[in-house]
Amino acid sequence: MGWSERQRRMLQEMGIRLWAPVSSPSGAPADAATPAAMPAMPVAPPASSAGAPGTALLPTPVDTDAAAPAVAPVGAAPADARAQAIAAMPWTELREAVAACTACELCRSRRQTVFGVGHPRAHWMIVGEAPGEQEDLSGEPFVGAAGHLLDNMLRALQLTRDDAPPQRQVYIANTLKCRPPRNRNPEAQELACCEPFLVRQIELIRPRLILAMGRFAVQALLRSSEPIGKLRGRVHRYQGVPLVVTYHPAYLLRNLADKSRAWDDLCLAARTAEAASAGAG
Ligand code: SF4
């Protein structure tokens, strides 16, 4: 993928490193900003515990994306009648079920649920963590400064959350549909209660790529307690869908040094989505 001058300027304004051509050992220039010029992507084996939806092992919350220590997964998502009912819901029913959900304590403090936005058959699905204050107010995921950064990152990849064909319009959803009070970390039981909704969204969309942003999204989807720094840089699988891990935009706003790593992740995601689309015909 080539970058226009305008995109390059925008990325630089975002503080995202643009790769200057560097000399390969053979002396030939290699532009790492061009996904086609990146080395062949390593594909991780499916997470050993990434079993059927509803058997999620959810992590114990910790403080930061970069410094997340390894934690033992605890708890199991209920494989009960509720999860089975959700697994059979069409879009309209699913949306109504989320709006009316009282399955965990977060229903008491939310202003509204945050279901998700985007194309129902999007090729790219972005999965974040939990709604914050502004998402709780607006009912839309990734708004405010973090949402603005995400939009800019998507725009650099010629993607958008606004109306567009499914190749360009992403779908954005959070792991949790309700805001934890005072933006505290989600609890394992809350993540387990909410997981069937996300699982069903993914099943309905059938994306060609999932971009998991932030520790809770990553750990819930991959059933892994590894920190993001150890999971990024390769392609995982979730129910057969390629999944790329990266930092949450809110984290990037506080940790500028990791923006260049996030951009590396987006380039990997772009290459992966391109390959998946080519394979899909
Ligand atoms: Fe229901 Fe999820 Fe909200 Fe909990 S966080 S009340 S499970 S929608």
Model pLDDT for residues 47-90, shown as the tens digit of each residue: 333 333 333 333 333 333 443 333 333 334 455 899 999 999 99
Sequence-ordered alpha helix ranges (H) in 2-143: 5-13, 81-87, 91-99, 106-109, 133-138
Pocket test of ligand 1: the residue of 80, 89, 107, 174 to mutate, having most ligand atoms within 8 Å of its CB, is 107
Distance from the alpha carbon of residue 176 to the mean position of ligand 1, in angstroms: 7
DSSP secondary structure string for all residues of 91-119: HHHHHHHHHT--SSTHHHH-SS----EE-
Instruction: Confirm whether 223 is domain-assigned.
Output: yes
pLDDT number for residue 158:
95
Tell me the CATH number at 239.
3.40.470.10
Residue minimizing CA distance to atom 5 of ligand 1: 178
Q: For residue 111, what are the contacts with CB-CB under 8 A and spacing of at least 6?
A: 136, 137, 179
Residue 49 confidence (pLDDT) = 33
User: Whose alpha carbon is nearest atom 3 of ligand 1?
Assistant: 178
**Structural domain for 150, as ranges:** 74-280
> CB under 6 Å to ligand 1: residues?
98, 101-104, 106-107, 113, 176-178, 190, 193-194
| pLDDT in the model for residue 11 | 54
Expressed in angstroms and rounded, the spacing between residue 106 Cα and the centre of ligand 1 is 6
CA–CA gap between residue 152 and residue 249 (Å, rounded) = 11
245 contacts 218 by C-beta, under 8 angstroms: yes
The fraction of the chain above a pLDDT of 90, given in percent, is 67
Of 64-73, 119-128, 228-237, which gets the smallest average pLDDT? 64-73
Sheet holding 209-213, edge to edge: 117-118, 171-174, 124-128, 209-213, 241-246, 235-238
pLDDT at 3: 55
20: in domain: no
Q: Is the pLDDT of residue 40 over 50?
A: no
Type of residue numbered 130? A
* Ligand 1 mean position, distance from CA 98 (Å): 7
Pocket test for ligand 1, best of 95, 114, 115, 194 (most atoms within 8 A of CB): 194
Is 198 part of any domain? yes
| 87-123 residue pLDDT tens | 999 999 999 999 999 999 999 999 999 999 999 999 9
Q: Hey, whose CA ends up nearest to atom 2 of ligand 1?
A: 194
**What atom in ligand 1 is closest to the CA of residue 193?**
7
Is residue 24 included in any domain, yes or no? Answer: no
Q: Is the pLDDT of residue 9 over 60?
A: no
**C-beta neighbour count of 172 within 10 angstroms:** 25
pTM, 2 dp: 0.76
pLDDT reported for residue 79: 56
Do 121 and 167 meet the contact criterion of CB atoms below 8 Å apart? no
Tell whether 219 is covered by a domain.
yes
In-domain check, residue 233:
yes
Confirm whether 59 is domain-assigned.
Answer: no
Question: At residue 124, does pLDDT exceed 60?
Answer: yes
Number of domains in the chain: 1
Number of the ligand 1 atom closest to the C-alpha atom of 102: 6
Distance 105 CA to ligand 1 centre (A): 8
Closest ligand 1 atom to 176 CA: 5
Residue 37: inside a domain, yes or no?
Answer: no
Query: 36 falls in which pLDDT band (50, 70, 90)?
Result: very low
Residue nearest to atom 7 of ligand 1 (CA): 194
